[in-house]
Amino acid sequence: MKNEENIECISPNTGASFDQWSETPVSEVRESLARVSRNSFSDLATVSSRRSVLLEISCLIEANRDEFEKIIINEVGKTRTEAVAEIDYAKSFLTYVADLMKSENFSEKIDKERKVLTVPRGIGLLITPFNDPLAGITRKLANCLGSGAGAVIKPPELGIKTASKLESIIKGRRFGHLATFIRTKDRNLVKKLIDSDEIGTVSFTGSTDVGKILSGYAGASLKPFVGELGGTNPFIIFSDGDVDKAVEDLVIRKTKSAGQACSAQNIVFVERKIASQVIDKIDEAFSNIRALPTNEFSNAKMGPVRSKSAIKNLLNFEKRLANEGAKLVCGLNGDKATGHGYMFNPVAYLSNNPQIFLQHEIFAPLMGIYIFDDRLKLKEIIRNNRQPLVLYAYSSDKEYLAKFTSALNYGSVGLNNTGIQGAFVPTGGFKQAGFGREGGVWGLREFTTTINVKSN
């Protein structure tokens, strides 16, 4: 930080500053909140107006695609392929909700004298993640605007430049009274925003620890809270599973965005009969993937993790694994870094204690492997996971997969497939993985409530 006003933006590709940002003055926060409260509801009163705004924001993102791509690569270290995919993903939330507006019924006639109106609870406070710095905003913003409410967006410090670009194009189209951006590191300011009467719904994506704090603030203010929090996701390969497909899918899933996705697996459970085969294939795949600075290598298969503290946490976690007898079995055998940024090559540790990997969301290209013999015991381990966000399971016996995963409450389940996400489906977890849902009509409903109208 150069001074009290300017905060450095550090690129994970280099570990060096590439830009600066400053916090939003408190006076401007109050003015922005009042402006959105005063104007957004009337401008979003009709379904057609909401649809028009959503489609126009999507078009604005497309028109600025090249710049978004460059910012995402530089700011969060995604590969070019990942940055391109994120822009498409970000647009999909806007266009999906715009299409949903054609069929969603916001006024339902119950009988001759009564109707029920579906209305926004109030302005949405959207607290967004760094790992998807653009799509993490639009997936919330689309549902919020689609409900008929304006939004106050608190972007992540580590994704601030991507958010600033989105803010500039929204303001340029004079939509600033529909969606305003608040840059701050001040948790007390966030608490005051949650407390304010104008805010109707609080939506947060991030760690479980922070989610607990924010949900407490929301609860104290009697505000609904939608929390997509940390997941310690199991990936199961049964002995009759397609090993080649399972390994290909898990490698892609774990190295995408350098493992910095809430849906990435924390631990692979593999049945003993195929364990050696699976481990060898993962090792071969991981050994061919190096973390590279994506601003220099357009063909990089994987980029860096986002921050210096993430590297420190990984190294500390590896020490804990070594102390508890875990063995490095996949990856580049200690050759952790390539380049000057926050590089960490993908690795996997074989452990006799799966709980190490079910008690700590890794959020990086490191995972555990546990060899199992007893399927019933495995199911109990999976059932007792405190952060059940996503479960993956591979077997050629589809009936058995359905039976095995029944009564296991995970927010998303991938059976012989990891393609669980999309603008049209709900995402979220159980227990410590959060509550509420994002995506699809379910995400839209998180921002709404009803008014019962009786007339003669």
- Domains located in the chain, CATH noted: 7-229+433-454 (3.40.605.10), 233-422 (3.40.309.10)
Token pair recorded at residue 88: 């498409």
pLDDT of residue 5: 81
What angle (nearest 5°) sits at the alpha carbon of residue 251, between those of residues 419 and 422? Answer: 15
Among candidate residues 193, 187, 254, the one with its CA nearest the CA of residue 37:
193
Token pair recorded at residue 403: 């039976």
Contacts for 51 with CB less than 8 Å, ≥ 6 apart = 98, 101, 102
Helix, strand, coil percentages, rounded to 5, for the chain = 45, 20, 35
> What phi and psi, each to the nearest 5 degrees, are found at residue 10?
-100, 125
User: In 213-306, which ranges are E strands?
Assistant: 225-228, 233-237, 265-271
pLDDT of residue 2: 39
Q: What is the mean pLDDT of each run of 10 residues along the chain (456 residues)?
A: 73 97 96 96 97 98 98 98 98 98 94 95 98 98 98 98 98 95 96 98 97 97 97 98 98 98 97 98 97 95 97 96 96 65 97 96 97 98 98 98 95 97 96 96 97 94
User: In 253-398, which ranges are E strands?
Assistant: 265-271, 327-330, 347-350, 366-372, 390-394
pLDDT of residue 333: 59
What's the CA gap between 346 and 254, in Å, rounded?
8
Among candidate residues 295, 291, 311, 312, the one with its CA nearest the CA of residue 303:
291
81 exposure class (CB count in 10 Å sphere: 0-12, 13-18, 19+): middle
pLDDT of residue 1: 36
Q: What is the DSSP letter of 108?
A: E
Please answer whether residues 363 and 310 qualify as being in contact, where contact means their C-beta atoms are separated by less than 8 angstroms.
yes
What's the CA gap between 261 and 85, in Å, rounded?
14
Residues β-bridged to residue 367: 348
Element (H, E) at 278: helix 275-287
Please answer whether residues 200 and 447 qualify as being in contact, where contact means their C-beta atoms are separated by less than 8 angstroms.
yes
pLDDT of residue 295: 96
Please answer whether residues 284 and 330 qualify as being in contact, where contact means their C-beta atoms are separated by less than 8 angstroms.
no
- Please compute, for residue 180, the number of CA atoms within 13 A of its CA located in the half-sphere on the CB side: 21
In the chain, how long is the greatest CA-to-CA distance? 77
Model pTM above 0.85: yes
Element (H, E) at 49: helix 47-63
Quick count: other Cβ atoms within 10 Å of Cβ 298?
11
Alpha-helical (H) ranges within 385-431 are: 398-405
How far is CA 318 from each of CA 313, 396, 418, rounded to the nearest angstrom?
Answer: 9, 34, 26
pLDDT of residue 337: 54
Please answer whether residues 294 and 303 qualify as being in contact, where contact means their C-beta atoms are separated by less than 8 angstroms.
yes
